[in-house]
Structure 1
Amino acid sequence: MNGYSTLVINSENIKAVHQLFDLESEDHKDARELLNEEIKGFLVKTADDSYTLNSEESSKGSETLHSTYGAITESFLKFVRPSNIKEKALEKETIRVLDICSGIGYNTAALIEELNGIDVNIEIDMVELSVETLATALFVPSPISSYKIVKKAIELKLLEEDYLKFQTFFDETPDNIKININIIDARKFILETKNDYDVVFLDPFSPVKTPELYTTEFFKKVNDHLFTDSLILTYTSAAPVRAAFIDAGFFIGEGPEFHRNGGTIAALDLNNLEKPLKSVDERMIGLSDVGVPYTDPYLNDSLETIYKRRQEERSKLKFNKLFPSTEKLPLYLGMDPDEIEDEKLRNKLVDYVQKMGFSSLDDPEIKNILEIPSEAIGNSSETILQLKNNIMNR
């Protein structure tokens, strides 16, 4: 990857894991016991008593791998249960799941737990670039019984790759479960894999920090490895992510809420989505610069390049082909300005539309731009595409 860098876990956490690797390579059988308290010190307890990790500080701040309102709860409520995986498992002999940026493995563990007792083969590709994050998972207390299966799979991979030397997890993995740990950039993985998936969990750090895994081109490649009834689930509701899904050929809907925005579910069949986006989100994505997606033409650009490219595209289109997202302008389009009580806000909004050649917020041409065919109602992807077509071709 050209100049590739990405957000990682805390640098002191990484140093401690490297010390672990060094000690085990030198035959120190007690290395994990020696470093147990130090590495556990990097764990962040969440509201449901499960744990997460902090990212390294960057110019855009730091964040945790999971919701602090409950890490394992988030895995169940935002990824596993809305994926309809149980229903699929009752109909198929084998379920295949792609867990992108699997981190410490909670989503995979929750999936296994959810399917416990169902007679189905489970094949999971966990993709995680950070070997240090995977190693830290070995020190995380198990929030559910299935997590031990994940930790054993991680340990075996680290032994296989000579990061570790001593096996400590010996519980038998059920014969119907196969977990493949892939320590690789997810972009490279999706270009090389031959597998097709029933469900994809997309769980990187936030788009502003890892835009390389939220691009139109990446989603198109993921699309190539799905069945017609497959779903992609992600916690983020960010406008550029939803726009990229649409540009990659997906229908999109709202995911379940869990102490933050509802996330996004992407599907190849509209009938597999239960809830369209809110109309305010459709307008923001379809009509304003915030809906410009991240792009990565050859799936090898640095996050800085991807971020900068989108910023330049936004600047080029704003006030030219697209409304600015400032003050959430699209939400006021079509309104009589006199209905806006805040005079300062009203004047700003009217000024914005006048910069684009409209007389006011309720200009007849703006009302035409807002017109959506009745058949597009309830279909967020079609609604957004129609809005974008209306404004770009006015």
Structure 2
Amino acid sequence: MLQAGIVGLPNVGKSTLFNALTRTRKAESANYPFCTIDPNVGVVQVPDERLEPLRAISKTHKVIPAAIEFVDIAGLVAGASKGEGLGNKFLANIREVDAIVHVVRCFEDDDIIHNMGSIDPLRDIEVINTELILADISSLESQKEKLVKKARGGDKQAAENITLIDRLLPHLNENRPAITLDMTDDDHVVLKRLCLLSAKRVLYACNVAENDLADSSGNPYVAKVESYAKEHHGAGICVISAAVEAELIDFDDAEAAEYLESLGVKDSGVSLLIRATYDLLGLASYFTAGEQEVRAWTFRKGMKAPECAGVIHTDFEKGFIKAEVVSYDDLLVAGSTSGARDAGKYRLEGKDYVFKDGDVALFRFNN
């Protein structure tokens, strides 16, 4: 299962957000730096409004959503790449995740300490980015020393790595993350081998006060983060309120809906954040739907039919023959599986078919 790491400076709301995402109090949350030391890991269901209509069509009571993992990582401070604070631990933990949810404080509150003494989300973002970049520079310089000898001996892969490293180092030394370097598809293959922190995709989670949740357009901090994300990463942002999420943890569905309505919103922001993170990880869902259960299966965008069959079981991929596929929209219009078949909306797809988000599938395979 792919993981998204929740990162940020100390005291920006990371652990509170993690608790909200996992609907637990697994991560300690307190008003002092480095409250989180060892990373907390939680499996989170991906909200999907398509599951309930599929359940009704299939006449089943069992629904299994897709899921991803979030990791709550210790707060980072300036100098982390040199071991300041919990820097070494932070960098080791973030290296293990597949994408980054960067929590940025976008609210004023004199009662909650900011470790840098003031609220400035762009400065906070740059502190994190700089430390990731410095760690990457150190890593690449070390890797290059080891690769030179191999390249001289005719190792083609080592030579490819060095070529990209020589392009990356000047880019990183201009304090620009690896993800912003203009690269070909072949370069991206090499980039994965280098295991760089600043090459990970990023989603900025703007943590706002509860009175900004309904409409954050008047929050100047959010506007700055949104502009920065577009200019520097082509990254997305999501507005959440960790304080609101902390309140919702102990509420049942009816109480939560009533509380959110009092704030002028229908969704707390967590559902949007989970779905945005799912997309950030390059993931999508296809469905199987029958009398026994409706289930969302996670696949990487671009995967072909046999690979998607293998998500269910490796035998499905090995013995793949065909996939019966209907789009969710077509099935919904038809109102039933038989109706979709009668309307000619079911298709038989072969090994080269690239699955799409929302496909409803039944696989044919040899045992």
Measured against the shorter chain, the TM-score band is under 0.3
Q: Which has the higher contact order (CA 8 A, sep 6+)?
A: 2
Larger relative strand fraction: 2
TM-score (norm 1): 0.26
TM-score by length of 2: 0.27
